[in-house]
Amino acid sequence: MVHFIDPLEENAAPAPRSSPIRRSRIGTREVLSRGSREVRRAVEPGAQVGEQQIFHLTHEGNLASIVAEKQLFADTNPDWEERPAVDLAAEATRLARRARHTGHHDDSVVADFVPFSLRPDSRQLRGLVPRAGLVLLVSSIASVLDWQTTAHPAHTPKMLFTNMDAAVPGAEFGRTREQLASLVRMLFSPATAPAHVEESRAAEFLVQGFFPLRRVLSIGVPSEEAATRVRAVLADRSATIDVLVRPEWFRAD
């Protein structure tokens, strides 16, 4: 097993942190994901790590509040007043993520972060039956790096990543660009990907506190009917988010 350690700085120097998230109002969280044919072309050897897509799994029923808030909230974010209309997380999962420390001196836990997967057919999605109403919010590591570069120094977003379920005891968390590139190459390069399929389905990319909706590049849905409903929810936004019909991301196999 490969271990990784802590925002995506070139030289691994600690990034300025925003104030630690309080854990007053505790609620639910959302899960995440990413796809099969898409995975093979995700990051070829020598490709930039920024090209890697990241996927947040949620439900159509939660999109209206996400659009209204203009962001995704981490489970423990005290500003998240309206919990999800459709909760995808089991109670045991929520509790485990609230209890699992990331091992950093800010005393953060996994539930302090908005979770993303590195492929659409993540372990989380594959564990959900039925899958009616599921959607995938798609961004990229490049978009996150741009956010980190342009953010005010006092509010530089903190990102972590791991090659397994972040709540599992023994999971270690990475932060440097070199560590992330190593993880992505191991999971998705043609020479090594076949041996790491299940690991790539479990891997997580975590963003502390919240994730701006403007950093979402597209939304994947399973059918044209779902696309019509999602476009209606997005209709009042000034910035366009592409809605992509990707039934292969949501298949039961």
| Known binding-site residue numbers for NAD(+) | 56-58, 97
Helices within the chain (DSSP H only) = 36-40, 60-69, 91-99, 123-126, 141-150, 177-188, 197-202, 224-234
Torsion (CA) 34, 138, 8, 146 in degrees, nearest 10: 160
Query: Which among 183, 175, 53, 32 has a CA at the least distance from the CA of 116?
Result: 32
Question: Which residue out of 29, 34, 97, 215 is catalytically annotated?
Answer: 97
Q: Count Cβ atoms within 10 A of the Cβ of residue 138 and give its class: 0-12 exposed, 13-18 middle, 19 or more buried.
A: buried
Question: Which residue out of 30, 100, 204, 215 is catalytically annotated?
Answer: 204
Any idea how long the chain is?
A: 253
The angle at the Cα of 121, spanning 117 to 123, to the nearest 5 degrees, equals 70
Binding-site residue positions: 56-58, 97
Q: Kindly list the distances between the CA atom of residue 98 and the CA atoms of 27, 89, 190, 206, in Å, as whole numbers in the listed order.
A: 10, 12, 35, 14
Does residue 97 carry a catalytic annotation? yes
Residues that are catalytic: 97, 204
